[in-house]
Amino acid sequence: MKPRSFVQQLRALLPSWKFFDRVAMPPRLYVRAVGGEWQPIAAPPRRVWSWAFSPRGNLALADQSAVEHLVADVDELDPSLDHDAPAIVGLVSYQLVARIARVYAPAGRWQWKIVVDREGEISDYLVSPELAAA
């Protein structure tokens, strides 16, 4: 194996500059007690030491990544499918997001949904059926 050049090693320390066409809100996960108000799943507050040690922040990033992955998976499917279609509910990313939502779910019957911003239009993207507390 060839040793890497100094420039290649230095690249790991420099930021990657990516420019985007537009800035949009990432998909957000919400939970609620059935009939109650939707509550967003928020990232934990940042602390002074968060830059060095932030397990809850890392978990929040992983959760957000799972939500984004589910949106990408559903986008690849037929748009006429219902939210509870077996093709959607059977996705691994759907099951992961459902488990994430369960952690934040209130007691009793509850639901989760994903809200997306498409072309400046914020709308419900995917709404789960009513679920019972475990």
User: With 60 as the cut, is the pLDDT of residue 2 above it?
Assistant: no
Q: How much is the average pLDDT of 114-125? A: 83
Residue 1 pLDDT > 50, yes or no? no
pLDDT tops 60 at residue 5: yes
- 19 pLDDT exceeds 70? no
Mean per-residue pLDDT for 111-120?
Answer: 87
Q: What are the domain boundaries of the chain?
A: 20-132
pLDDT in tens, 40-99: 998 777 777 776 777 888 888 899 999 999 999 999 998 788 888 899 999 999 999 999
Mean pLDDT of the chain: 83
* Distance from C-alpha of 114 to C-alpha of 27, rounded to nearest angstrom: 6
Q: Please tell me the predicted confidence (pLDDT) of residue 42.
A: 83
Q: CA distances (Å), 30 to each of 17, 24, 84, in order? A: 31, 18, 17
Collapse the DSSP code of 72 into the 3-class scheme (helix H, G, I; strand E, B; otherwise coil) and give the result: helix
Residue 32 has pLDDT above 90, yes or no: yes
Q: What angle, rounded to 10 degrees, do the helices at 55-75 and 92-104 form?
A: 140
